[in-house]
Amino acid sequence: MAPISDDLIGSLNHAGAAAQAEDYAALGRQLARRGLSIDSLTERAMAWTVAVPTWGVGTGGTRFARFPGPGEPRNIHDKLEDCGVIQQLTRGTRTVSPHFPWDKVSDYNALRQEAAQYGLGFDAVNSNTFQDQLGQSLSYKFGSLAHAQAPTRAQAVEHNLECIEIGRQLGSTALTVWIGDGTNFAGQQNLTRMFENYLEAAAQIYAGLPADWLMFIEHKMYEPAFYSTVISDWGSNLIAAQTLGPKAKCLVDLGHHAPNTNIEQIVARLVQVGKLAGFHFNDSKYGDDDLDAGSVDPFRLFLVFNELVDAETRGAKDFRPAYMIDQSHNVTDPIESLMASAMEIARAYLQASLVDRAALAEAQEANDVLAAHRMLKAAYITDVSPILAEARMRAGGALDPIAAYRAAGYRAQKTAERPAVAGSSSGIV
């Protein structure tokens, strides 16, 4: 069930094949001079994958407005189809991460099969206790897992346990818990009691995890709470993960930190203590802007991957990070942004793989600062696009996914098929 015509992809790939071959060969020769095998790198690129969030294919917005695009997905079935396009063309997004209650259906086995037809599996399940749902008995206005009152905490725990059950049926093995709980005023809540409430509630969720599941805890500096946030930084996240147990790990969203923060060092620290859950990739300039990965500070993205490849290379203990995109597409076609982002992330991963880690360690040991820095820079400025393209084509994807997507007229077709609906649940996060 391929959303885009494979014939179209093939003919477009054919048209660009000669130029790609020339660039690939030239890069191969250059890399060979640097002691690197381009084919190994292409294999590495083919093995790479990052999850796409189901809500990401809808148009996002701000507190001021949301400007929907044409042909928006109306439900999880439309979303799967859109995610199928991304996977078909890029071949590097083999799972989707669902969100409940947004993606609720009556038959999850059927949903799992539906996804499989697009070549998609299910990644971590996301719960939602930052919004009130129709018919919900208690409001999350003043918090959920960290609410001052026990009944609201219990309701939020219950929802997370339900998400685990759904995830079990979908083949997921992780629950991602992000809560907006916090305060807007000094004194609104006791900061310690609020965290104790959170830890107690989170322990009940943790207790409900199947044996092979992990619990991903996501920290964020602020928003929706503007004075304090319960899990505001990796320090609080770490305490939570330590308190809960070995199945609890800390998720890093690139836009959830204070200005000027060295995020790659936080990644290194979490790897070191065996608590890195994985990532929500996006980019940001100001706050949790949820912009496309690599669009603001691509060198930072590279430096994060430099830590990840370093951990992989040295065989860091318990190192199995989960990778997911988490963006809000307010002014672009979400499918295009997600394809572009998936490719930018793969680019950073591959560039980080070019570093000669033995030589780097030697320069570091000798305090040859400039040489060490330039080794990273040499990897970063290498344009690995030909490798990424080769990997896509070998896997059946498109040489240029965005060009192919536009050529296929997918959005126009969906605009006709999917009449606009008011109050869609997609794209808000």
Binding to a second copy, residues 123-152 (CB under 8 A): 130-132, 139-142, 148-149
Hey, which residues between 53 and 82 contact a second copy (CB under 8 A)?
60-65, 67
Sheet (strand 95-97) strand order: 52-53, 95-97, 121-122
Q: How far apart are CA 185 and CA 194, in angstroms?
A: 14
The answer to whether 154 touches 208, Cβ cutoff 8 Å, is no
Q: Answer yes or no whether residue 303 interacts with a second copy by CB under 8 A.
A: yes
* Residue among 230, 207, 210 at smallest CA distance from 218: 230
Residue 30, amino acid: Q
Q: Answer yes or no whether residue 107 interacts with a second copy by CB under 8 A.
A: no
Alpha-carbon dihedral 389, 394, 400, 406, rounded to 10 degrees: -160
Hey, which residues between 322 and 361 contact a second copy (CB under 8 A)?
328, 330-333, 336-337, 340, 347, 360-361
Q: Is the dihedral of CA 229, 232, 235, 240 positive or negative?
A: positive
The answer to whether 173 touches 214, Cβ cutoff 8 Å, is yes
Binding mask 233-252 for a second copy (x = CB under 8 A): xxxx-xx-------------
Q: Closest distance between a second copy and the C-beta of residue 235, in Å?
A: 4
Residue number, 19 or 105, with CB nearest to a second copy: 19
Q: How far apart are CA 329 and CA 146, in angstroms?
A: 30
Hey, which residues between 25 and 54 contact a second copy (CB under 8 A)?
26, 29-30, 33
Residue number, 84 or 180, with CB nearest to a second copy: 180
Binding mask 250-289 for a second copy (x = CB under 8 A): -------xxxxxx-xxx-xx-xxx----------xxxx-x
**Binds a second copy by CB under 8 A, chosen from 103, 310, 326, 390:** 310
**Binds a second copy by CB under 8 A, chosen from 160, 189, 424, 425:** 189
Q: Answer yes or no whether residue 188 interacts with a second copy by CB under 8 A.
A: yes
| Length of the chain measured in residues | 429
Run of H or E residues at 310 = helix 298-314
**Binds a second copy by CB under 8 A, chosen from 1, 15, 17, 19:** 19
Q: Answer yes or no whether residue 207 interacts with a second copy by CB under 8 A.
A: no
The answer to whether 120 touches 94, Cβ cutoff 8 Å, is yes
The answer to whether 327 touches 290, Cβ cutoff 8 Å, is yes
Q: How far apart are CA 334 and CA 329, in angstroms?
A: 6
Q: How far apart are CA 387 and CA 298, in angstroms?
A: 18
* Residue among 355, 359, 360, 407 at smallest CA distance from 384: 355
**Binds a second copy by CB under 8 A, chosen from 7, 135, 137, 370:** 370
Q: Closest distance between a second copy and the C-beta of residue 65, in Å?
A: 4
Residue number, 98 or 208, with CB nearest to a second copy: 98
Q: Closest distance between a second copy and the C-beta of residue 385, in Å?
A: 7
Q: Closest distance between a second copy and the C-beta of residue 180, in Å?
A: 6
Hey, which residues between 386 and 405 contact a second copy (CB under 8 A)?
402
Query: How many other CB atoms sit within 10 Å of the CB of residue 201?
Result: 25
Q: Answer yes or no whether residue 185 interacts with a second copy by CB under 8 A.
A: yes
DSSP-derived secondary structure letter, 73: -
Residues in contact with a second copy, counted by CB under 8 A, come to a total of: 116
Q: How far apart are CA 48 and CA 383, in angstroms?
A: 18
Q: Closest distance between a second copy and the C-beta of residue 114, in Å?
A: 28
* Residue among 384, 134, 141, 124 at smallest CA distance from 278: 124
Q: Closest distance between a second copy and the C-beta of residue 333, in Å?
A: 7
Residue number, 106 or 260, with CB nearest to a second copy: 260
**Binds a second copy by CB under 8 A, chosen from 372, 389, 393, 398:** 372
Q: Answer yes or no whether residue 382 interacts with a second copy by CB under 8 A.
A: yes
